[in-house]
């Protein structure tokens, strides 16, 4: 298609803004161009492609399936160009390129840091950026090229054609509370007792939340009082230590905080099947050697990163 040869970086921004705003006038204002000129460019692009990219409505534009597809490619290309500029500037300053890692708070606290230490030993001048969020948000950023690797629970992961994934270690869940909680140390518990307390739960759709909901369903119980919904490990830990609330965490996370006297696991199994922590990365035709080293570091940290 010859139209690809005429595309410039500014055209990618035009397409992204048209998709986001649904408005020729707003896009023209944002991009400092004229509305007639923008309308003419879009019409010529659609003619070159041979298909409409937007449906015209009284209230503005709505992207077609092809329009959304092209806009998604444009976002990835813009992100890659921005990261290329960032990496070139790093090289000019004497550093290696930057790698971006996304991690879910559900993974063990020292696991990803241990992998980063191994990676830095291989690339002493490299820069590492770490972002923490829910898996759905991280995977979207990975597809857009804003992250290089994502680490977290993949229990209910839906495979994406643009990504590759690998299991790193199995990870059951534990119900946790503060060490002097009324239920701590009890040899046997049931859901009736647990449901008398308020809970801190992960957001709807996250793997840990799905496992908890499944365990309750299998036990024939309604959800307990979900007082707080949070994916912040720091906030959850503070709330657990200063209240009688309960929560659910990965076993390695529970073990990490138990060893520091901050939390204890309760004697109540979650019969919702085993889960696992894994990593995802983009399926590239020519794998980047530095990303390959990062993946190797994560595999190595699986063994040595957390007791």
Asked if residue 87 is part of any domain, the answer here is: no
Same domain, 188 and 146: no
Same domain, 181 and 58: no
Domain containing 144 equals 95-170+276-304
Asked if residue 222 is part of any domain, the answer here is: yes
Same domain, 181 and 257: yes
The three-class DSSP label of residue 229 is strand
Q: What is the pLDDT, as a whole number, of residue 273?
A: 65
Q: How far apart are CA 206 and CA 204, in angstroms?
A: 6
Quote helix, strand, coil % in the chain, to nearest 5: 45, 20, 35
Q: How far apart are CA 211 and CA 208, in angstroms?
A: 5
Number of domains in the chain: 3
Sheet strand arrangement including 127-132:
127-132, 98-103, 149-153, 276-282, 163-170
Helix (H) and strand (E) counts for the chain? 12, 12
**pTM to 2 decimal places:** 0.69
| Confidence label for 224 from pLDDT (cuts 50, 70 and 90) | confident
Same domain, 183 and 244: yes
Same domain, 107 and 242: no
pLDDT at 93 over 90: no
Asked if residue 83 is part of any domain, the answer here is: no
Q: How far apart are CA 123 and CA 17, in angstroms?
A: 38
| Confidence label for 179 from pLDDT (cuts 50, 70 and 90) | very high
Same domain, 177 and 229: yes
Asked if residue 20 is part of any domain, the answer here is: yes
Asked if residue 270 is part of any domain, the answer here is: no
Asked if residue 202 is part of any domain, the answer here is: yes
Asked if residue 82 is part of any domain, the answer here is: no
Same domain, 157 and 290: yes
Q: How far apart are CA 18 and CA 62, in angstroms?
A: 9
- What does the pLDDT average to over 84-110? 77
Q: 25: how many CB neighbours lie within 10 A of its CB? A: 12
Same domain, 195 and 209: yes
Least confident of 3-7, 42-46, 47-51: 3-7
Same domain, 237 and 181: yes
Least confident of 17-21, 72-76, 84-88, 160-164: 84-88
Same domain, 260 and 294: no
Asked if residue 90 is part of any domain, the answer here is: no
Q: How far apart are CA 180 and CA 221, in angstroms?
A: 26
Strands 173-177 and 264-265 come out as antiparallel
pLDDT in tens, 194-215: 999 999 999 888 888 888 888 8
Same domain, 177 and 166: no
The secondary structure element, H or E, covering residue 112 is helix 111-122
User: Within the chain, what is the greatest distance between any pair of CA atoms?
Assistant: 75
Helices 65-92 + 9-21 axis angle, to 10: 130
Helices 289-304 + 111-122 axis angle, to 10: 130
CATH number at residue 58: 1.10.10.10
* R_g of the chain computed on alpha carbons: 24
Same domain, 113 and 60: no
What's the chain's average pLDDT?
A: 87
Check residues 182 and 48 and name the one with the higher pLDDT: 182
CATH number at residue 245: 3.40.190.10
Q: How far apart are CA 102 and CA 152, in angstroms?
A: 8
Alpha-carbon dihedral sign for residues 160, 290, 276, 104: negative
Of the candidates 16, 41, 73, which is a domain's last residue?
Answer: 73
């Amino acid at each position: 298609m010859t139209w690809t040869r005429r595309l410039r970086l500014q055209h990618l921004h035009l397409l992204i803004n048209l998709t986001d705003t649904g408005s020729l006038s707003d896009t023209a204002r944002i991009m400092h161009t004229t509305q007639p000129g923008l309308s003419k460019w879009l019409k010529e692009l659609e003619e070159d492609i041979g298909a409409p990219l937007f449906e015209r409505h009284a209230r503005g534009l709505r992207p077609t399936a092809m329009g959304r597809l092209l806009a998604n490619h444009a976002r990835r290309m813009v992100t890659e160009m921005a990261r290329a500029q960032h990496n070139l500037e790093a090289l000019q300053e004497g550093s290696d390129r930057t790698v971006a890692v996304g991690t879910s708070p559900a993974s063990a606290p020292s696991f990803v840091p241990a992998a980063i230490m191994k990676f830095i030993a291989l690339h002493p001048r490299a820069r590492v950026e770490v972002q923490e969020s829910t898996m759905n948000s991280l995977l979207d950023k990975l597809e857009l090229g804003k992250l290089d690797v994502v680490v977290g629970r993949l229990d209910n992961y839906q495979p994406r054609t643009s990504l590759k994934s690998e299991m790193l270690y199995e990870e059951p869940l534990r119900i946790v509370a503060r060490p002097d909680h009324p239920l701590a140390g009890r040899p046997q518990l049931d859901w009736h007792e647990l449901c008398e307390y308020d809970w801190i739960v992960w957001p709807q759709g996250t793997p840990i939340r799905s496992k908890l909901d499944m365990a309750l369903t299998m036990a024939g119980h309604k959800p307990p009082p979900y007082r707080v919904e949070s994916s912040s490990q720091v906030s959850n830990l503070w709330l657990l230590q200063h209240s009688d609330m309960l929560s659910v965490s990965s076993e390695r996370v529970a073990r990490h905080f138990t060893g520091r006297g901050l939390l204890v696991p309760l004697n109540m199994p979650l019969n919702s099947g085993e889960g696992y922590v894994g990593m995802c990365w983009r399926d590239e035709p020519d794998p980047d050697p530095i990303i390959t080293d990062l993946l190797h570091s994560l595999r190595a940290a699986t063994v040595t990163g957390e007791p």
